[in-house]
Structure 1
Amino acid sequence: MNKQLIIAIDGYSACGKSTIAKDVARILDYTFIDTGAMYRGVALYALNNQLIQGDVILTDQLADSLPEIQLDFKKNSETGKRHLFLNGTDVEEIIRRPEVAAVVSKIAAIKEVRHKLVASQREMGKNGGVVMDGRDIGSVVFPDADLKFFVTADPLIRAERRLREMQSKGIETSLESVLQNLQERDQTDRTREEGPLIQTPDAILIDTSHFTRESQLEHVLNIIREKFGD
């Protein structure tokens, strides 16, 4: 392919969309942009600065603080992978913790937060050669993306995957707790006013419930080859 594509991958949490996006970016030698990590970064900032009190997010104060929030993807010298940095600090592991997961969908529903991050994401991907995953990439960030996927999976399978991921990082929780969190996030993502999670008519649906990592990658690559050649 001579053209540098913009590939948008949207879908539910823990359905494998980030894994697909990372693998496709690696094969194509494209840049992978994890937009969900960016919202988690803002959520972490809000938690660290007491802008979330109980179930209440101090929305006006957070909106006023947005100019102070600098989010960058940089290569980690130890892992060789691109990590999210929040105001110069590597927060890739911290943003995966349950306390961040519990509030990120509410943070992502805030209009001012979405406007700031969508603008950043458009700037990152404007020249193509990117695989970007999130909730509203094909519908809002890049509605004219060259190729769009919408990824889903059975909720229980998603919860089991997320539980294994968390346990591998030493985070102790239960399947019931993880499933409840995912269901609450799904509801928030689907019903928010700003950039709700939807499958656009031109997005290709992929159900990863019974795919392995290798088979889902091959499936997506086959679609890319069919549309754009090798």
Structure 2
Amino acid sequence: MRTLFTSLLIAGGILSGVWPVAAQAPREVKIVVLGDSLSAGYQLPAADAFPAKLQAALRARGQAVSIENAGVSGDTSTGGLERLDWSVGDGTDAVILQLGANDALRGLDPAITRRNLDTIVEKLKQRQIDVLLAGMLAPPNMGSAYAGAFNPIFTDLATKYGLILDPFFLDGVMTVAGLSLPDGMHPNARGVDVMVQRILPKVEELIAAVRARRGG
């Protein structure tokens, strides 16, 4: 036997011609991490790489997101630019741009790094893809003159294009014992955990920017 409340609900639906519709789940945000060995997961199982752990952490926080690992060990900003179109496929909403470390390690002209990263960002913007720029610092052995030309690249580009900036991708890991592989340069699984937790607010800001741009 129907209750009075149920009957009223049914009658209301019939009279208005509209039935309540369940709220739709938010559309998934697709992020590509375009980077080098620091994000690719050098000498780590695939599940311990930065993109995989970042995706898991975001989903645990209720974010509908998928993150693709487009990191290539040894890649420079030149390599990233050359493979941009096929590494960042159609349907990508946002990119975490993590390149430049190998440029500095090899002592490449910072002007080349700046030009390559600028071009990558410009191309992504033309495709309406939001960008989180992961910064890097020149190794101390490269000297102050080199650092003076290299280090400002990331802040300058973030200011120019209005990007979300993570000033130093390895912050909290590079100089902390027990968070790097024996080579002292690449994060181990614990190091990746630290990186993920530190950058989470920036990535959630990136996701919010995507949802605001596309309206959900």
TM superposition score normalised by structure 2: 0.38
What is the TM-score with the length of structure 1 in the denominator?
A: 0.36
Return the structure number with greater relative CO, CA threshold 8 A, min gap 6.
1
The structure having more radius of gyration, on CA atoms, is 2
